[in-house]
Structure 1
Amino acid sequence: MNSPSLIEPGLDPRWVADIVTRALDEDLGPTPGRDVTTQATVPPSGTGTAHLVARADGVVAGLVVVEEVTRQVAERFGLAPVAVTFTAQDGDAVTRGRVLAALTGPVQVILTAERTLLNLASRASGVATATRAWARELDGTGAQVLDTRKTTPGLRALEKYAVRAGGGTNKRMGLYDVAMVKDNHVVAAGSVAGAIEAVRRMFPDVLIQVEADTTDQAMEALDAGADFLLLDNMPTPVLADTVRRVREREGAPGGPAKIELEATGNLTLDRAREVAGTGVDYLSVGALTHSAPILDLALDLIG
């Protein structure tokens, strides 16, 4: 494989280039920077091959950054580019010891790029691995696992990409694309209806989701015209009853055609199928991004 296939809708190449530049600046100092150990011990003319290897079972993601990291390092040091041959794709399930890519070229470039490419790919692969566990548990239920905005600052695009690679679904990308009316917004606006009305007046193009802790709150939000309900921290019987009541309203005269329902709060993998069985469309899990451990990857120089 010459380059890994992107998980749709992919990553913006400009974003990838920018985050790699920032990460290299952290490691090397301001452009062009320096790697005092590698540049002292490895001649610029030295060439070799290194393997990117999985040290644990999991799902890989973020391989798409590898070529950009090596490209930028070579450019900074005025060295020849590194040729990268991939033997895995983002979204692949891999086992410990699997070679994911071979990097051939100036050893200075390979060693200097090592930590940056591993940091990004290991982080993304950890998110993809955690997501795959949820997606597998929900398989056949009709429900999907969603991410949240609880992402690492600066890495949201990569982490949400990794969720897709793992088989999950992105919710909103930020505060700009979907309105989320929470309790503080209700207090500020005076009521759920007031908050929804204010959003529709100023931003008529966005979907409006409302957070509800109780069945009564969910019905109030439905009456006010919410497009999407976030059912937060409800015990399973309460959640099931709320879903039933919402579904009864769908398609009824004067009622909504379809309301998307999302369960969140206190969700664990061992409860996933139980919660999905209530009929919700989504389970949102902040832990996919805020608590997923990295997938251990290594870059081993072989010659």
Structure 2
Amino acid sequence: MKVDMLFTIKRIVKMSVTQTMNSGVSFRSMAVKPPSHPTYDMKGVIKLALLKIWDQVEWSQKDGDHVQKGLQFGKVSGQAHNIVVAERVVLNFMQRMSGIATLTKTMADAAHPACILETRKTAPGLRLVDKWAVLIGGGRNHRMGLFDMVMIKDNHISIAGGIINAIKSVDQYLEQQNLQMEVEVETRTLEEVDEVLRYTSQTKSSLTRIMLDNMVVPLPNGDVDVSMLKDAVEMINGRFETEASGNVTLETVHKIGQTGVSYISSGALTHSVKALDISLKIDTELALKVGRRTKRA
């Protein structure tokens, strides 16, 4: 039992790493593809997950609709054994995705006119699903992995010996490999923002976005000071996309969104989500009626 469990865990970890490293992993390779607008074929997803072991799935609500406690929004039919075996798999996906979509919708509305993004802080093995749920909730997707966008973060800057050295290294690599992709650099101070702006004004660079990390400062009274973030956005003045990160909550996201920043990223959308309370209940009367007629469940 221990050997089997260890083998399974290794497979899960390997799959999660593959999602980060493998450029072949994308929405384009999914059997049920998410469309560009925030809705998706839940029936198709469930049938895909369950290998079509349920006979029929019907929905009375479209995905993305507002629902309230007690609402019955779907119905499934099939053999009782198949229904109860598949129940937890279905609910796990639905509850997690619905929780992510619900939180995203709330934060996206509050962040306007800025766009809300998730991060790569997703459940291992569920990155495509988690990011899909963000789209459903009206958010935008950040990079899928290490292959579709270059992000120069604090550790890279430390290794390179400075923020300009890090940008130069990326520019040289992309040119040598004949690659074209978006490049984002993390800045933590106004001085770093100024460094980046001066360098890119004098040198051709692949840089497309500047992350303004932890420039939202919590105050003792529970409010936040966004003056540094606002100053940074004004310094950049539309030359690059801007992304605010750090101290983003439901309480602070509206104030952050009013600074003029292009994007607001929040890891909480996927790493701290509260699952929606969804359950499946058997129609006892119908089950007994069918059982008497067929002499089986």
Q: Match for residue 264 of structure 2?
A: 283
8 A Cα contact 2:27 2:128, kept in partner: no
8 A Cα contact 1:128 1:162, kept in partner: yes
Q: Match for residue 189 of structure 2?
A: 214
1:1-303 correspondence runs (5 A):
12-14=29-31, 63=42, 64-72=44-52, 74=53, 81-139=54-112, 142-203=113-174, 204-225=179-200, 226-234=207-215, 235=217, 236-247=226-237, 250=238, 258-302=239-283, 303=286
Aligned length in residues: 235
Q: Which structure shows the bigger proportion of residues in strand conformation?
A: 1
Cα deviation for residue 10 of structure 1 reads 6.3
Using the alignment, how far apart are the partners of 2:28 and 2:100 within structure 1? 16
| Helix, strand or coil at the partner of 2:183 | strand
8 A Cα contact 2:111 2:264, kept in partner: no
**1:109-168 deviations in Å (ceiling 9; x for gaps):** 1111100010011110010111111012124xx211110011001001111110111111
Identity %: 37
Name the amino acid aligned to 1:244. E
Could you list the structure 1 runs, at least 4 aligned residues long, displaced by more than 4 angstroms after superposition: 9-12, 59-62
8 A Cα contact 1:151 1:159, kept in partner: yes
Cα deviation for residue 89 of structure 1 reads 2.5
Using the alignment, how far apart are the partners of 1:202 and 1:186 within structure 2? 15
8 A Cα contact 1:146 1:285, kept in partner: yes
Name the amino acid aligned to 2:69. R
Give TM-score, length-normalised by structure 2: 0.73
Cα deviation for residue 200 of structure 1 reads 2.3
| Helix, strand or coil at the partner of 2:184 | strand
CA shift in 2, pair 1:264/1:182, >3 Å: same
Using the alignment, how far apart are the partners of 2:60 and 2:134 within structure 1? 21
Cα deviation for residue 61 of structure 1 reads 7.6
**1:216-257 deviations in Å (ceiling 9; x for gaps):** 11122233443211101113111111111110xx5xxxxxxx
Using the alignment, how far apart are the partners of 1:180 and 1:85 within structure 2? 43
Q: Match for residue 220 of structure 2?
A: none
Structure 1: gaps spanning 5 or more residues:
1-8, 17-58, 75-80, 251-257
| Helix, strand or coil at the partner of 2:116 | strand
| Helix, strand or coil at the partner of 1:267 | coil
Name the amino acid aligned to 2:214. N
Using the alignment, how far apart are the partners of 1:125 and 1:217 within structure 2? 39
CA shift in 2, pair 1:212/1:62, >3 Å: farther
8 A Cα contact 2:111 2:256, kept in partner: no
Using the alignment, how far apart are the partners of 1:89 and 1:98 within structure 2? 13
Structure 2: gaps spanning 5 or more residues:
1-25, 201-206, 218-225, 287-297
8 A Cα contact 1:127 1:288, kept in partner: yes
Using the alignment, how far apart are the partners of 1:209 and 1:124 within structure 2? 28
Name the amino acid aligned to 2:227. P
Q: What is the RMSD of the two structures over their aligned residues, measured on CA atoms?
A: 2.3
**1:62-103 deviations in Å (ceiling 9; x for gaps):** 83422223435x3xxxxxx51111222222221112222211
| Helix, strand or coil at the partner of 2:78 | strand
